[in-house]
Amino acid sequence: MALFQEIPSETGRRAYEIKDPVSLESIGRFEAATTEEVRSAVERARKAQREWATRSFEERAEVLWRWIDVLVQRQDDIVDLVLRETGKTRHEAVAMEVMAPCMQIAHYAKYGARYLKTRRFRPAGVMRFTKKLTLIYQPLGVVGLITPWNGPVALTTNPLAQALMAGNAVVHKPSEVTPFSAVLLKEITDAAGFPQDLYQVVQGDGATGAALIDAGVDKISFTGSVATGRRVGEACGRNLIPVTLELGGKDAMIVCTDADLERAAEGAVRGSFFNSGHYCCGTERVYVPESIYEPFVEKVVEQTKKLRQVESCDGDVGAIFWDKQMEIIESHMADAKRKGAKVLVGGEHDRSLSGYFFPPTVVVEVDHEMDLMCHETFGPIVAIQKVRDEEEAIELANDSDYGLSGNVWTTDLAKGEAIAARMKTGSVSVNDIAVTYGIPEAPFGGLKSSGVGQVNGEVGIRGYCHLHPIVIDTAKKAQGGYPYSRKSAEGLQKLVRRVFGNRFLRKWFV
By CB under 6 A, name the binding residues for ligand NAD.
146-151, 155, 173, 175-176, 205-206, 209-210, 213, 223-225, 228, 231-232, 246-249, 280, 376, 378, 404, 446, 451
Q: CB 85 → ligand NAD: shortest distance, Å?
A: 12
Is residue 374 among the annotated active site residues?
no
Helix (H) or strand (E) holding 386: strand 381-387
Residue 30 or residue 52: which is nearer to ligand NAD going by CB? 30
Residue 148 or residue 315: which is nearer to ligand NAD going by CB? 148
Is residue 6 among the annotated active site residues?
no
- From the list 85, 92, 176, 246, the catalytic residue is 246
* Radius of gyration, alpha carbons of the chain: 26
From CA 236, how far away is CA 212, in angstroms rounded?
Answer: 10
From CA 402, how far away is CA 282, in angstroms rounded?
Answer: 12
- From the list 236, 280, 313, 374, the catalytic residue is 280
From CA 455, how far away is CA 464, in angstroms rounded?
Answer: 10
From CA 375, how far away is CA 251, in angstroms rounded?
Answer: 10
Phi, psi of 8 (to 5 degrees): -65, 150
Q: Cα 176 vs. chain centroid, distance in angstroms?
A: 18
Is the Cβ–Cβ distance between 339 and 370 less than 8 Å? Answer: yes
Residue 213 or residue 265: which is nearer to ligand NAD going by CB? 213
Is the Cβ–Cβ distance between 429 and 405 less than 8 Å? Answer: yes
Is the Cβ–Cβ distance between 272 and 284 less than 8 Å? Answer: yes
Closest CA to 34 of 235, 203, 282: 203
Q: Are strands 251-255 and 243-246 parallel, antiparallel or unpaired?
A: unpaired
Closest CA to 357 of 431, 279, 276: 276
| Three-state DSSP class for residue 244 | strand
From CA 340, how far away is CA 412, in angstroms rounded?
Answer: 34
Give alpha helix (H) positions in 244-305: 261-273, 290-305
Cβ–Cβ contacts within 10 Å for residue 154, how many?
Answer: 21
Q: CB 398 → ligand NAD: shortest distance, Å?
A: 19
Question: How open is the CA angle 292-294-296, to the nearest 5 degrees?
Answer: 65
Q: CB 233 → ligand NAD: shortest distance, Å?
A: 10
Residue 9 or residue 73: which is nearer to ligand NAD going by CB? 9
Q: DSSP of 447-497, one letter per residue?
A: SGGGEES-BSHHHHHHTTEEEEEEEEE--SS--S-SPP-HHHHHHHHHHHH
Residue 249 or residue 347: which is nearer to ligand NAD going by CB? 249
Q: CB 206 → ligand NAD: shortest distance, Å?
A: 3
Residue 21 or residue 224: which is nearer to ligand NAD going by CB? 224
Residue 153 or residue 232: which is nearer to ligand NAD going by CB? 232
Is the Cβ–Cβ distance between 163 and 500 less than 8 Å? Answer: no
Residue of this chain nearest to ligand NAD (CB atom): 209
Q: CB 211 → ligand NAD: shortest distance, Å?
A: 8
Q: Which residues contact 270 (CB under 8 A, 6 or more apart)?
A: 433
Residue 151 or residue 267: which is nearer to ligand NAD going by CB? 151
Q: CB 488 → ligand NAD: shortest distance, Å?
A: 54
Residue 272 or residue 303: which is nearer to ligand NAD going by CB? 272
Q: CB 380 → ligand NAD: shortest distance, Å?
A: 15
Q: CB 116 → ligand NAD: shortest distance, Å?
A: 22
Q: CB 478 → ligand NAD: shortest distance, Å?
A: 50
3-state secondary structure 170-230: EEEECCCCCCHHHHHHHHHHHHCCCCCCCEEECCCCHHHHHHHHCCCCCEEEEECCHHHHH
Which residues form the catalytic set? 246, 280
